Amino acid sequence: MIEIVQQTTKTEENIENKLPKNIRQIGNPEKDFRIYMEDYVYTYLHPAQLNGMETEIFPRLLILLGEINHFSNRSCAFVSGAIQVEDSEYPDILPEFNERTWRRIHREMHQYFENCEIVGWVLDIPGNTLEITAEMEEMHRRNFVSQYQFFFLMDSKEREEAFFTWKEGCLAKKEGYFIYYEKNPQMQEYMISKREALFGTEAKPEEVNDRAAVNYRTMMMAKKERASKQKTGILSYLTSMLTIIVLCAVSVILLGNIQKMENMEQTISVMSNVFESTEQEIAPLQNQVAIETISGNILPIEDAADLKDENQTPPKPQEASETSQTAEMENAAPEETANIPLEETATQEPLPPESLPENEEPKSKEEEVQPVLSEAETFRAQGYYVVKQGDSLRQICYKIYETYGMMDKLCEANGIDDQDFIYVGQKIVLP
């Protein structure tokens, strides 16, 4: 027997539902149909292991409960409960599922496993080889009609077991299965109610070595406490790491700010020294007075005015106007001269064709004004459209052609079978 222990959150990427987190693999399970048995159910099926081989081993017949889920690439049976069938004639002869037996089974299902269905059955024969007889196949065929309901044959004395599924008209052995661990209060309640029948009236809980046999509720509380401590430890570790990261980031920021402040102090110090030296150089110059000697004849104001009137000849009217205009032009600022209209200086005429540069012809108005294309015309001229976020083929068709009548041609030109199946970045050829 091959036993592999693994902990995983998902065993296959294509499974639609979440599988149990903690899984133990027994043997080599097949891919098309897999069986997952809950740990409490597996414990209930092995009473000798639970009680340290002190419990008397006797033949048993049980019904397995749970659910069968069908996924895209496989089917999985999840076993979450087990009901033991009482039969006074067994083990002298193979037990029979009569009407009274099925009534009692359904009554206990309604009491303990209300939301479960029958997924298989168990036959435990101590000291028997794991071989299927014709009576077992007939019993399975009459009472378990679904091809997904299985048969679990056990030998508690030798600790051997095997699953069998109905395939091609007979029971075929499966190579392996899984055991998973999760909360199962329904099976716990059932095991507590059947505790006397499982261990006998003389056995005392204190004498049992295994903690699960002493008190299943205590074991669940201990498991919850361990899980809580583990989560608390992980949370404390993450909090400490986050605190360290924050402190490191703050330290780096503070060091950077300190370095910036030091650079700023150096810059301010240099600038203050420059200002002080500049003020020292300018101060002596402000106290000096510039004296300049001008040579020439100095006359009183009245004599200078008379001399000017004598030497000045009145200009002609036309010369006076031209002289005033020339003076105004000379005294005008360059900016004012530039703003004088061209009509006052010269009339502007279009250049003759001979004045144009070589190899250049005068452009017509039609050539100078180019038509502006719309967005739809631009895409049609381009010949394709790149799909953006939120686009659909119908929106693209109406956006380019302003009608939905081109949908068939768009699909045909791009080989699109499903109008709703396009992706971002896809290049749509425009017919």
Look up residue 371 and give its two tokens.
């038509």
* Contact (Cβ atoms closer than 8 angstroms) between residue 180 and residue 38: yes
Q: For residues 429 and 415, give the distance between their C-alpha atoms in angstroms, rounded to a whole number.
A: 10
Per the listing, tokens 């693994």 go with 6
Mean predicted confidence (pLDDT) in 313-324:
48
pLDDT band of residue 39 (cuts 50, 70, 90) is: very high
What backbone phi and psi angles, to 5 degrees, belong to 135? Answer: -65, -40
- The amino acid present at 26, given as its one-letter code, is I
User: Which one of 94-108, 237-251, 414-428 scores highest in mean pLDDT?
Assistant: 237-251
Tell me the pLDDT tens digit for each residue of 266-287.
889 888 888 777 767 666 555 5
Determine which of 4-8, 113-117, 233-237 has the lowest per-residue pLDDT on average.
4-8
82 CB-contact burial (10 Å; exposed 0-12 / middle 13-18 / buried 19+): buried
Look up residue 326 and give its two tokens.
């020339």
Q: For residues 261 and 253, give the distance between their C-alpha atoms in angstroms, rounded to a whole number.
A: 12
pLDDT band of residue 179 (cuts 50, 70, 90) is: very high
| pTM across the whole model | 0.44
Give pLDDT, residue 369. Answer: 54
Q: For residues 47 and 247, give the distance between their C-alpha atoms in angstroms, rounded to a whole number.
A: 56
Neighbouring C-beta atoms of residue 213, cutoff 10 Å:
24
Look up residue 415 and give its two tokens.
């080989």
Share of the chain above pLDDT 70, in %: 65
Tell me the pLDDT tens digit for each residue of 47-87.
765 554 445 567 888 999 999 998 888 889 999 999 988 75
Please give the torsion angle defined by the CA atoms of residues 322, 326, 332 and 333, in that order, rounded to the nearest 10 degrees. 150
Does the pLDDT at position 163 exceed 90?
Answer: yes
Give pLDDT, residue 35. Answer: 93
Give pLDDT, residue 194. Answer: 80
> Distance of CA 368 to CAs 163, 267, 363, 371, 372, Å?
88, 57, 7, 10, 12
Mean predicted confidence (pLDDT) in 376-399:
88
Torsional sign, CA 289, 295, 298, 304: negative
Does the pLDDT at position 421 exceed 70?
Answer: yes
Tell me the pLDDT tens digit for each residue of 338-359.
444 434 444 444 545 444 445 5
Determine which of 144-153, 162-171, 187-196, 329-338 has the lowest per-residue pLDDT on average.
329-338
* Contact (Cβ atoms closer than 8 angstroms) between residue 49 and residue 91: no
Higher pLDDT residue, 358 or 235? 235
Look up residue 175 and give its two tokens.
């190579």
Does the pLDDT at position 316 exceed 70?
Answer: no
Does the pLDDT at position 42 exceed 70?
Answer: yes
Chain-centre distance for alpha carbon 270: 54
Look up residue 140 and give its two tokens.
């399975």
Higher pLDDT residue, 79 or 308? 79
Give pLDDT, residue 49. Answer: 57
* Contact (Cβ atoms closer than 8 angstroms) between residue 80 and residue 113: yes
Determine which of 128-132, 193-197, 228-232 has the lowest per-residue pLDDT on average.
193-197
Give pLDDT, residue 130. Answer: 83
Torsional sign, CA 341, 342, 344, 347: negative
Using alpha carbons, select from 128, 24, 17, 123 the residue that is nearest to residue 74.
Answer: 17
Mean predicted confidence (pLDDT) in 231-249:
90
pLDDT band of residue 212 (cuts 50, 70, 90) is: very low
Using alpha carbons, select from 220, 194, 190, 47 the residue that is nearest to residue 113.
Answer: 190
* Contact (Cβ atoms closer than 8 angstroms) between residue 35 and residue 177: yes
Task: Please work out, in degrees rounded to the nearest 5, the angle formed at the alpha carbon of residue 125 by the alpha carbons of 38 and 219.
Answer: 30
Three-state secondary structure along the chain?
A: CCEEEEECCCCCCCCCCCCCCEEEEEECCCCCEEEEEEHHHHHHCCHHHHCCCCCCCCCEEEEEEEEEEECCCCEEEEEEEEEEECCCCCCCCCCCCCHHHHHHHHHHHHHHCCCCEEEEEEEECCCCCCCCCHHHHHHHHHHCCCCCCEEEEEECCCCEEEEEEEECCEEEECCEEEEEECCCHHHHHHHHHCHHHHHCCCCCHHHCCCHHHHCHHHHHHHHHHHHHHHHHHHHHHHHHHHHHHHHHHHHHHHHHHHHHHHHHHHHHHHHHHHHHHHHHHHHHHHHCCCCCCCCCCCCCHHHHHHHHHHHCCCCCHHHHHHHHHHHHHHHCCHHHHHCCCHHHHCCCCCCCHHHCCCCCCCCCHHHHCCCCCCHHHHHHHHCEEECCCCCCHHHHHHHHHCCCCCHHHHHHHHCCCCCCCCCCCCEEECC
Average model confidence (pLDDT) for the chain?
74
